[in-house]
Amino acid sequence: MNKLKLNYLLLLILCFLCTTPAIYLIALGNRDLSGISSSVIYGIAILGSAFLLNWGAEAAEKDISAGLALAFIAIIAVLPEYAVDFSLAWEAADDPTYAPLAIANMTGGNRLLIGIGWPLITLLSWIKFKSKKVTLLPNQKIDLSVLLIASLYASTIPLKGQLDIIDSIFLPGIFALYMIIISKQSSEENTIVGPAQIIADLPQKARRVCCTILFIFPALIIFLAAEPFAHNLILTGKNIGVDEFFLIQWVAPLASESPEIAIAMILTLRSRASSALTVLLSSKINQWTLLVGTLPIVYSVSSGELSALPMDNRQSIEIFLTVAQSLFALVLLSNLSFSNRGAALLFFLFITQIIIPINAARIVFSITYIVFSATILLYDADRRSNIFSMQKQFLNSARNTK
């Protein structure tokens, strides 16, 4: 083994070692450590797992489509968000005050992905490669089409004032169809370098075993570390006097979204900004469909009967704002490119929402997103045409799955 490959192997081992303190803490039940110390240990474990997951997915592209590999990354990397949100929905059956927190965590995670994650890709791409935009692949029209369908459907949720069994059927169904479609897509060939190259160069059987391990092991670590990571982070915030609702909606999602954001940063710096945006787009679709749709199921199981997860007026406004942001982001990407100016506008609107955390401002921001979207579509016929063609392509792909 040459020196370069030896260094790659050491990186793999180092990332595995990054998870061992968290495994030890989990086995001990997180005793005798302060909240911030635990958060650091769990955070390092999640970051190490993100690297392992990325390398495993890259190597897996020799056996499955890149689109499917990236979708698997999105599914596994979003596990922390599931762990936190499921625990809140479960507690809501016994304590109704947890129901708004479950919705807050979900909407915060969704908006954070678009408001920070997407602009971060364009920023890194500009810093390293001086790129003025990130160009998407034609087959990513499917992702955008699913985002449109999910967002339009989600706009009906505030009208109902609850998440119910209908949502649990439709939204996960859309996600399942999305996974089937992208599994059949062809994708671009990518040169595999770095630690992933060691795995990709193995014989087929050994490579598949290693890739499976690098999907399953990081998934377990991310899932087990997410809840205590977020819990200790929130506990630390409380100790220094930070509002609980703010922590649940923004700080906890910032922590739980870190795996996919870290993976997206790695891909961007590897000159794969399009793939990075695909990961975050897939994560957004995952949370906007499967996560939202399964919350009523978790709530029902915990309550022991078929029940709808209730929402108050504040949470209805939060969902409406999330819908508006999703639609605006979709319009920005409808020409299959994401410009630095569009990214800067998304980031500005997102940060301003956090600075002005009042319901009236949420409504103003929602209207702003919608007005911006309508104005762009009114004056850009190509974007309007692209959106219609996306839906047509999705319908044709859905028919071909039968």
269 — phi, psi (to 5°)? -70, -15
Cβ neighbours for 47, distance < 8 A, ≥ 6 positions apart = 18, 258, 259, 262
Classify 20 as helix, strand or coil: helix
Range of the domain at 277: 3-400
Report how far residue 96's alpha carbon sits from residue 99's, in angstroms, rounded to the nearest whole number: 6
Residue scoring higher pLDDT (332 or 27): 332
Burial of 220 (0-12, 13-18, 19+ CB in 10 A): middle
For residues 306 and 296, the answer to whether their CB atoms sit within 8 Å is: no
**Mean pLDDT across 95-106:** 87
The answer on pLDDT for 239 being more than 60 is: yes
Cβ neighbours for 122, distance < 8 A, ≥ 6 positions apart = 131, 133, 134, 273, 338, 339, 340, 343
For residues 370 and 325, the answer to whether their CB atoms sit within 8 Å is: no
Report how far residue 253's alpha carbon sits from residue 287's, in angstroms, rounded to the nearest whole number: 12
Split at pLDDT 50, 70, 90, the class of 189 is low
Q: Which CATH number characterizes residue 391's domain?
A: 1.20.1420.30
Query: What per-residue confidence (pLDDT) applies to 186?
Result: 59
**Mean pLDDT across 46-53:** 80
Split at pLDDT 50, 70, 90, the class of 158 is very high
The answer on pLDDT for 342 being more than 90 is: yes
Query: What per-residue confidence (pLDDT) applies to 87?
Result: 81
Q: Whole-number mean pLDDT of the chain?
A: 84
206 — phi, psi (to 5°)? -65, -40
Classify 279 as helix, strand or coil: helix
**Mean pLDDT across 10-23:** 88
Report how far residue 219's alpha carbon sits from residue 74's, in angstroms, rounded to the nearest whole number: 11
Residue scoring higher pLDDT (48 or 373): 373
What 8-state DSSP symbol labels residue 291? I
Q: Cβ–Cβ contacts within 10 Å for residue 265, how many? A: 18
Structure tokens at 267: 């891909």
Structure tokens at 180: 């089937």
pLDDT tens, position by position, 54-73: 788 778 877 776 666 666 66
DSSP assignment of 112-148: HIIIIIHHHHHHHHHHHH--SEEEPPGGGHHHHHHHH
Among the ranges 96-105, 123-132, 236-245, 269-278, which has the highest mean pLDDT value?
Answer: 123-132
**Mean pLDDT across 237-258:** 75
Query: What per-residue confidence (pLDDT) applies to 241?
Result: 73
Residue carrying structure tokens 């319901």: 359
Burial of 91 (0-12, 13-18, 19+ CB in 10 A): middle
Residues 75, 81, 82, 85, Cα dihedral to 10°: -160
pLDDT tens, position by position, 86-96: 888 888 888 88
338 — phi, psi (to 5°)? -130, 105
The answer on pLDDT for 401 being more than 80 is: no
What 8-state DSSP symbol labels residue 78? T
Report how far residue 117's alpha carbon sits from residue 104's, in angstroms, rounded to the nearest whole number: 18
Domain count, the chain: 1
Query: What per-residue confidence (pLDDT) applies to 371?
Result: 95
pTM higher than 0.95 for the full model?
no
Question: Which neighbouring-strand residues pair with 339?
Answer: 133
Burial of 189 (0-12, 13-18, 19+ CB in 10 A): exposed
**Mean pLDDT across 115-142:** 89
Q: Which of 81, 357, 82 is nearest to 246 (CA)?
A: 357
Rounded percentage of the chain residues whose pLDDT exceeds 70: 90
Residue carrying structure tokens 């000159």: 271
Beta strand 133-135 with 337-339 is antiparallel
